[in-house]
Structure formats: structure tokens, C-alpha cells
Amino acid sequence: MRMLIVGAALVMMTSAAMISSVVAEDDDAKGAQKLAMQGRDDYWHCLAREYSRDSNQGLSEQDFGRSVAGACPSERQYYRVALLDYLTTQYPAIDSGAHLATANRAVASAQKDIVTAFVKHRQPQK
């Protein structure tokens, strides 16, 4: 009888440890996702500030693209790192190089989108 009680206690403790581990992993994933989304938003806001600068009005697509590629270095790096952390938390079995490539593609996509918007909405050349 005593062994049965001890066994039941061990099962309950193990179950509690496993549940708290799952909850902690879920909290980590949610936190990483929140940081990745915040990083994305900060980077996009910074790119939007670059887009709206008066000094960009006369730039060609290529010049504006180079300007955007060098703009917002801290926001860009924070977004890349936060997204990499989220992907690693969400998909731990996938190679970290693949996660880095995905994060780099997300940054490049944001830059491409802002350049596309610039080209579509700039004043026609006179």
C-alpha cells in the first residue's frame, strides 16, 4: 500500500513537472512571437520614415534601394534576431542556418516592399 502511494506521488510529480515544462515552453514561444512582431513593426516604422523623407523625392529606384538597404541598422538587426529566436523556439528541430536564411529573406522582403511602394507612388519625372 505504501509503495502504491509513493508510486502515485511520483506519477503526480512527474506529470506536474511535464505540464509546467509545456507551459513554460508555450510562454517562451508566445514571448518570442511577441518580440518578433514588435521587431517587425519597429523596422517597418523606421522604413516608413525613410520612405517619407523629402530628400528621397529625386532618387532613382536603385538609389532609393541602396538608401533603404543601409537605413535602420539597429531596427533591422533587432528584427532579424527576434525572428531568428522565434523560429528557433517554434521549430527547434530545423537547422539554425535555415532559420537565419528565413529571417534574412524577411528583412529583404520588407526592403523590397518599401522600394516598390516608393516607385509606385513617386512623382513622375518632368
Q: Which residues contact 119 (CB under 8 A, 6 or more apart)?
A: 61, 64
Q: What is the pLDDT of residues 41-60, one digit of tens each?
A: 999 999 999 888 888 888 88
The SS3 of residue 55 is helix
Q: Where are the domains of the chain?
A: 26-122
The alpha carbon torsion through 57, 72, 39, 65 (nearest 10 deg) reads 50
121/126 Cα distance (integer angstroms): 15
109/92 Cα distance (integer angstroms): 24
Average pLDDT over residues 4-12: 54
Element (H, E) at 58: none
| Whether pLDDT at 73 is above 80 | yes
